[in-house]
Chain A
């Protein structure tokens, strides 16, 4: 299952709910304002770093770039995907759960 999170973790509980209700081994894509959850040095970084241990966590490159986030600022283990990579994630997982 691919889980997508498109809200900032500082504004909404979407990321928390996603991490609480996804099974270990899930694919999790941070996109739109959700990309802020991929930054290191924030109040949610530890939670996300923990999630990286048990899941495959991705961040959508164009959304990162638009918001001025550089790859060097990402939590270790988070993979950057482009739009084609997003399509691959959707195609390679059996279903998408959106956390809006």
Chain B
């Protein structure tokens, strides 16, 4: 049987999570969210990016009780807390950015106040730089 090395000591990558789908119509958003949580366990750098209908994932006021589906807005609240903890902890080398593309946000009539978490709003050109400099991009 093959042996795998899961040792991540000293390994530091920047992973971009590219959310492009609205939250409940398909499974994409939930799958990406689970990947984000896994990367947190390995203390990697992460850009959590919301583009196209993905911006709807962090819209305030979601209530999925009648759908009997998991409302993952609270999980994004936890991700924001994790990010703030990492920012404040000098011993922790984990830089997380929560980014929304300006063009996608504006096309959907949203402003940063509509989001559950504090976001960085970047232009398409600025976001293209973020993608190009990532070690890996997880799409969804």
Which A residues lie at the B interface, using CB under 8 A? 1, 13-14, 17, 20-23, 26, 95-100
CB A92 to nearest CB in B, in angstroms, measures 15
Contact status B124-A97, CB under 8 Å: no
Known A95-B134, A100-B28: A23·B129 in contact at CB below 8 Å: yes
Contact status A95-B137, CB under 8 Å: yes
Known A95-B134, A95-B137, A97-B139: A21·B127 in contact at CB below 8 Å: yes
Q: List 23 A-B pairs, Cβ < 8 Å.
A: A1-B131, A17-B20, A17-B52, A20-B103, A20-B124, A21-B127, A21-B131, A22-B128, A22-B131, A22-B132, A23-B129, A23-B131, A23-B132, A26-B132, A95-B134, A95-B135, A95-B137, A96-B137, A97-B18, A97-B131, A98-B18, A98-B139, A100-B28
User: With an 8 A cutoff between CB atoms, is B140 at the interface?
Assistant: yes
Contact of A21 among B21, B124, B135, B140 (CB under 8 A): B124
Contact status A100-B51, CB under 8 Å: no
User: With an 8 A cutoff between CB atoms, is B136 at the interface?
Assistant: yes
Residue total for B at the interface (Cβ-Cβ under 8 A): 21
CB A23 to nearest CB in B, in angstroms, measures 5
Given A21-B124, A22-B128, 8 further pairs, Cβ under 8 A: A17-B51, A21-B128, A22-B132, A95-B136, A95-B137, A97-B137, A99-B139, A100-B139
C-alpha gap A98/B32 in the complex (Å): 13
Contact of B51 among A21, A22, A23, A98 (CB under 8 A): A21
**Which A residues lie within 8 Å of B131 (CB)?**
1, 21-23, 97
Max count, chain A CB within 10 A of own CB: residue among B101, B135, B136, B139: B139
Max count, chain B CB within 10 A of own CB: residue among A20, A22, A23, A99: A20
C-alpha gap A20/B139 in the complex (Å): 16
Known A99-B139, A100-B28, A100-B140: A23·B128 in contact at CB below 8 Å: yes
C-alpha gap A20/B20 in the complex (Å): 13
CB B45 to nearest CB in A, in angstroms, measures 14
C-alpha gap A96/B132 in the complex (Å): 9
Interface string of B64-100 (1 = CB under 8 A from A): 0000000000000000000000000000000000000
